[in-house]
C-alpha cells in the first residue's frame, strides 16, 4: 500500500471512531441513562479484555505460529484472578506481572 492509502485509512477510522463516541457521549452524555443500559455498560471492560488478548493467544505469529507457554500461563493467571477477585484491573495486573516475571526469569 502507498503512504497516502495508509494515512487515508487511518484518518477515516479515526473519524469513524470519533463519531461513534460523540453520538454516545456528546448527544446523550448530559441525560441520565436508563438502568438497563447502565447494567449492560458494566460488562464493557470484561468484554474488551478478551478481545485484546485472544489474537496473540490464538494466532501467535510472533512466536512462529506455535502457542507460547508464557502467554498461555499469564492468560490463565489473569483469568483466574479475574474470576476470583471480579476485578478487570487486578486481573490485567496479575497477568502482566506473571508474564513480565517469567520473561525476565527465563531470559
**69 or 104, which is more confident?**
104
User: How many structural domains comprise the chain?
Assistant: 2
* Same domain for 61 and 17: no
User: 16 to each of 6, 13, 68, 87, 101, how far by Cα in Å?
Assistant: 15, 5, 35, 30, 38
Write out pLDDT tens, residues 55-79.
888 787 766 777 888 989 999 999 9
Q: Provide the residue range defining the domain that includes 56.
A: 34-106
Q: Are residues 86 and 47 in the same domain?
A: yes
Average pLDDT, integer, range 6-15? 96
Asked whether residue 54 falls in the same domain as residue 88, the answer is yes
The most confident of 9-13, 23-27, 36-40, 54-58, by mean pLDDT = 9-13
Secondary structure of the chain in the HEC alphabet?
CCHHHHHHHHHHHHHHHHHHHHHHHHHHCCCCCCHHHHHHHCCHHHHHHHHHHHHHHHCCHHHCCCCCHHHHHHHHHHHHHHHHHCCHHHHHHHHHHHHHHHHHHHC
The reply to whether 23 and 47 lie within a common domain is no
Amino acid at each position: 500500500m502507498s503512504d497516502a492509502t495508509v494515512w487515508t485509512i487511518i484518518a477515516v477510522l479515526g473519524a469513524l471512531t470519533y463519531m461513534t463516541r460523540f453520538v454516545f457521549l456528546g448527544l446523550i452524555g448530559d441525560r441520565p441513562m436508563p438502568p438497563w443500559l447502565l447494567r449492560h455498560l458494566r460488562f464493557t471492560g470484561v468484554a474488551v479484555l478478551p478481545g485484546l488478548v485472544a489474537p496473540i493467544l490464538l494466532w501467535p505469529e510472533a512466536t512462529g505460529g506455535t502457542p507460547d507457554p508464557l502467554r498461555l500461563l499469564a492468560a490463565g493467571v489473569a483469568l483466574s484472578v479475574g474470576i476470583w477477585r471480579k476485578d478487570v484491573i487486578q486481573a490485567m495486573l496479575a497477568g502482566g506481572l506473571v508474564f513480565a516475571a517469567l520473561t525476565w526469569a527465563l531470559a
